Amino acid sequence: MKTVVFIETNFSGLDAIQYCKHQGYRAVLVTDNFERFKKWFPASAMHKLDLADQVITVADSNDFDQVLAALRAQLSRIDALLTFAEIRTLVAARLCRALGLRGSNPEAIAIAQDKARFRQVLMTRGADDVRCRRIEHIDELPALAGALDFPCFLKPVQGHSSIGAVACPEAAAIPGIVESLRGISEDWISPAFVVEDCLRGELVSVEMLTTGPGRHQVVGVSDRDVVKDSIEIGASFPLQGAQREAIERKAMAALDAIGYDFGASHVEVMLTDSGPHLVEVNTRVGGSGHSVMLDLATARSIVGDWVELCLGQLELPRRLYQHHRGAAWKCFVTADQGVIRRLPSAQDIQRLHGVQHVWLHREQGDTVGGLDSNYSWIVQVMCTGNDQPDAKRNAARAIEFVAGHTVIG
């Protein structure tokens, strides 16, 4: 029996664990905080964690030496090792190198995770021309006010889930922004920030599976629904149109520029008046149900393909992914604060046209504190349709139903 090790996981990674179970592989999950998953995943999805054949608990799953020692002590065989969690992609790549397993280039991941270095590499290698500067702490921002072009955009040099990502429209907004960002204490969010050109336009993402240097299997392009400049609340797939090929080329150029040569990626691109510009590269499958959307539209599993790629078993025709229908996910969020007094049931939402999955991120009786990150989601739906616009309409109608039957006070 083949053994597949996961270093932590995201929402999409739960389906990878389930995939291993169906294929007869032994799934091993390494984590330093099982309670973290209760914050990350809706309760209805938590049962998939129980499908792991073994859980290895360590004090710090980002500590290379510690995890390597635990794996060698507790496992006699490892056939593949990967992660779906952005916060552990680098250590996973380093572990693959140490264990002689197929894996990503650690240096490429290090570049992608350092937002300032990422911009510099893209500029140097001609892949993009977005300007940026790095500050070591948000308190340094006021001193730069006279040298900045407004609007500008701030985000942690290392971060995730849109935490700490905010647009600064003018110098007068700096004191309030500094105050709001000073108190961030979330895991894996750096105190250093990058201040960069503010890209205005439509946010899209390119989903890919890279099988070797310069060899990228494009799953497709999805649009993104964003509020408050950076908080993602929805997506639909596959996006068509005149710019699709240019978007895909831009994303592939970014992967080649940083040297990413193996594994899944979720590359975010902004479509501006001056053309597509790169936002960031995530060296893993898109999370938050994104992989489910791709699976519904292409009739194959990208998480399964990544597992098989790591095992060396993935058959590689000229093009892996074909589009058969549209799919979309969308979340109900609110800026209101208070207790959820009423919420429609998952069963009632599931009866709506096109709805395939419903995930309740909050429950009746929970307290919600407004809208400040991707952790602010309350209800999420996954829908299908004849094509991307049809699926997106179905998701929007489902969220309208949720909004009309929810009371917060």
Q: Are 197 and 132 in contact (CB under 8 A)?
A: yes
pLDDT for residue 43: 86
**Contact 4/27 with Cβ under 8 angstroms?**
yes
Q: Count how many Cα atoms sit within 13 Å of the Cα of residue 80 in the half-sphere of its side chain.
A: 25
pLDDT at 248: 97
Torsion angle (degrees, nearest 10) of CA 134, 136, 140, 141: 40
> d(Cα 345, Cα 253) in Å, to the nearest integer?
44
| Nearest by Cα to 3 from 263, 311, 313, 314 | 311
If you average pLDDT over residues 309-318, what whole number do you get?
A: 93
Q: Which fold has domain 3-101?
A: Rossmann fold (3.40.50)
Residue 370 has pLDDT above 90, yes or no: no
- Higher per-residue pLDDT: 317 or 170: 170
Beta strands in 151-301 (DSSP E): 152-156, 166-168, 193-197, 202-212, 215-227, 231-237, 263-272, 275-282
Is the overall model pTM greater than 0.85, yes or no?
Answer: yes
Domain(s) of CATH 3.30.1490.20: residues in the chain: 131-197
**In degrees rounded to 5, what are phi and psi of residue 384?**
-120, 165
Predicted pLDDT of residue 187: 81
- Assess whether pLDDT exceeds 90 at residue 58: yes
**Whether pLDDT at 169 is above 90:** yes
CA distance 330 to 258: 31
Residues of the chain with CATH 3.40.50.20: 3-101
Give the model's confidence band at 229: pLDDT under 50 very low, under 70 low, under 90 confident, else very high: confident
User: How many Å apart are CA 276 and CA 269, to the nearest integer?
Assistant: 6
What does the buried/exposed string (b/e) look like for 345-364 if buried means 16 or more CB atoms within 10 Å of the residue's CB?
A: ebeebeebebbbbbbbbbee
Token representation of residue 218: 């494009």
Kindly state the DSSP code that residue 349 receives in the 8-state scheme: H
Residue (of 58, 15, 10) closest to 36 by Cα position: 10
CATH number of the structural domain 202-408: 3.30.470.20
CB 26 within 8 A of CB 3: yes
Give the strand pairing for 202-212 and 263-272.
Answer: antiparallel
For residues 234-250, give the mean pLDDT: 95
pLDDT band at 312 (very low <50, low <70, confident <90, very high): very high
Using 50, 70 and 90 to split pLDDT, how confident is the model at 243?
A: very high
Q: Which CATH class is domain 131-197?
A: alpha beta
d(C-alpha 327, C-alpha 391), whole Å: 5
pLDDT digits (tens, 9 = 90+) for 323-338: 999 999 999 999 999 9
CATH 3.30.470.20 range(s) for the chain read 202-408
Report the C-alpha dihedral over residues 124, 128, 130, 131, rounded to 10 degrees: 10
- Half-sphere exposure in the Cβ direction for 115 (13 Å, CA): 31
